[in-house]
Structure 1
Amino acid sequence: MARGPERIGDVLAQLTARRGFAGIRRAGVCEAAWREAAGELAARYSRVGMIRRGKLEVTVANSTLVQELSFQKPALLKALARLLPDERIQDLRFRVGAID
């Protein structure tokens, strides 16, 4: 069955979804939002991960910073809600790990 011409926007959206570029772009947006919400120093020693069921996973270089970010969690959630309204982040999960 012959198909007619497709809009370029539709074709690009399909290609982006198939190749995983949307996830890469989304990760970059989340990184930038985290940098703004947490500040440059905290962002330098942490990396955002996946958002699962409204919970953003953040890998942090050391336990001292985990404690500090835990104290700031309400303010961080408020800032992330403003910066990433479509993500609907309701909680943050901090864990110590490599941030290379």
Structure 2
Amino acid sequence: MTRLLHATMTLFLLLSFLSVTAVADAQKGKKLYVQKLKPICKMSGSDFAAKHSQDEWEEIYDAGEFNKEIKKICGITIEEKFLPHIYDFAYEYANDSGNVPDC
């Protein structure tokens, strides 16, 4: 009985941490957008993310075309290490998500 309780508590804590991590990536992406892209793109984060739906952002990212799309929208490319975070931001606040960033 105690093993089952222990396993359940461990699973609950693990899932809690994973959900916080997913939110943190979009938040980090928002900060990166504000620091690295907003001054160059000359548009708000919501305007940038609203360029595509979640499905479209996912297709672009999965095809390895995300940096090309940033260049098309903003005129520059960014470091590869920042792409997953900015993708999470764009996906989270896409035009069909119902979410609006405050940047």
TM normalised by structure 1 equals: 0.41
**Larger strand share, 1 or 2:** 1
Greater RCO (Cα-Cα under 8 Å, separation 6 or more) = 2
TM normalised by structure 2 equals: 0.40
